[in-house]
């Protein structure tokens, strides 16, 4: 699976996503794009899944027409996310075309 990390998604998470190809918005030169532009560009580039920490994304964008899967991590804290790696990995495995899932990080 081709995965894109949005701004705020801790880069060390990439090590825990197995054989998936992971890039970041920064690495692709997309760090300055708005959410709508980012989703469109990602879809054009063949990205399968966007992992973001932007919990407002579903309220700001019409996701019904999108073909990219989205997983939202409800924290930007790497130490907190580390305690929920199983939940993150499970969400990635469930991700399919146009799906949206939030991973609660407490």
CA dist., res. 76 & res. 36, Å (int): 21
Start-to-end CA span in the chain (Å): 27
Q: What is the rounded distance in angstroms from the CA atom of residue 73 to the CA atom of residue 96?
A: 17
**pTM score, whole prediction:** 0.94
pLDDT surpassing 80 at residue 28: yes
Q: What is the DSSP letter of 68?
A: S
Average pLDDT over residues 73-86: 97
Is the pLDDT at 39 greater than 80, yes or no? yes
What is the rounded average pLDDT of the residues 58-83?
A: 91
Q: Is the pLDDT assigned to residue 14 strictly greater than 80? A: yes
Give the mean pLDDT of 66-86.
96
Domains of the chain by start residue, with CATH: 2-103 (3.40.50)
């Amino acid at each position: 699976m081709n995965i894109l990390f949005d701004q705020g998604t801790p880069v060390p998470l990439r090590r825990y996503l197995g054989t998936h190809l992971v890039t970041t918005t920064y690495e692709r030169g997309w760090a300055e794009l708005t959410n709508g532009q980012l989703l469109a560009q990602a879809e054009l580039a063949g990205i399968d899944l966007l992992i973001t920490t932007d919990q407002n994304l579903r309220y700001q964008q019409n996701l019904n027409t999108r073909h990219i899967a989205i997983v939202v991590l409800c924290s930007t804290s790497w130490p907190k996310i580390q305690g929920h790696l199983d939940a993150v990995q499970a969400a990635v495995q469930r991700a399919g075309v146009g799906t949206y899932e939030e991973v609660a990080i407490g």
